[in-house]
Structure 1
Amino acid sequence: MAGWANQRYASAGPGPYPPQGQAPGQFTPGVYVLPQGFAPVPIEIGRANGRALTSLILGIVSVVTFLIPWLYLITSLVGGIVAIVLGNDAANSLERAPAPNRRSMAVAGRILGIIGTSLAVLSAIVGMLLYS
């Protein structure tokens, strides 16, 4: 990732004045002049964002659909297990990343996956006891 500061950023120059030949208030398209003393901060989170969001969505779906007969076997049980796995993976990946809200999404997805899976197993046990 060498040279990330040179991508589409210009140096601030000697002061807050525009470059020669450019009036105040004008800008060059595609170039952002950073104030002196500031530098862009690279954030590399990668695919963990998608895993955290997917874990959260699957966790919500697994909790909401656990009472639908026969459908809970697919949505609640399988979706909850996948939410747990993706939530663990995303939380571990985002542990050192500067995005605490993404890590909390992964943890919430993992917790909802555990709740949805538990409710699906409980629903299956109650269903077997009632219909046997």
Structure 2
Amino acid sequence: MFSAKTFLLFVAAAASPLATALAENGTVEAADFWAMFCDDTECSQNCGQSVQVSNPGCLNQNGRQSIRFHGGDVGSGDYSLVISPSGDCPCQESCSSIPTNTECWDISRFQDAKSFRFIGGHCDGNNC
């Protein structure tokens, strides 16, 4: 049969698949939240595919004006958005901490950016 630990892991994972994740050591921990880049400042038009905020991969999302956050504890992590002036995230032109407890973040001031990436922690100095 199931051990108590296995049973608890199963129950926790089934109860909220977006809010929990299985860590390498076999314990359940809170998962981070997700982001969708959108064409308008209200997070309602042509929102793209969801990406995990903890994924540091480059996102070529030029012309986007907002980010809709969802899943997990939205904005509870310590993450920042790195902004690049050209595609494929070659450098950091500017960087901004993700606001906590927000579902829609107006990023229209970065409208000329060609690519973005999320990083854990705070911003380093600009290097473009």
Pairwise TM-score range, normalised by the shorter structure: under 0.3
Point out the structure with the larger strand share: 2
Point out the structure with the larger helix share: 1
TM-score normalized with structure 1 length: 0.24
Question: Which protein is bigger by CA-based radius of gyration?
Answer: 1
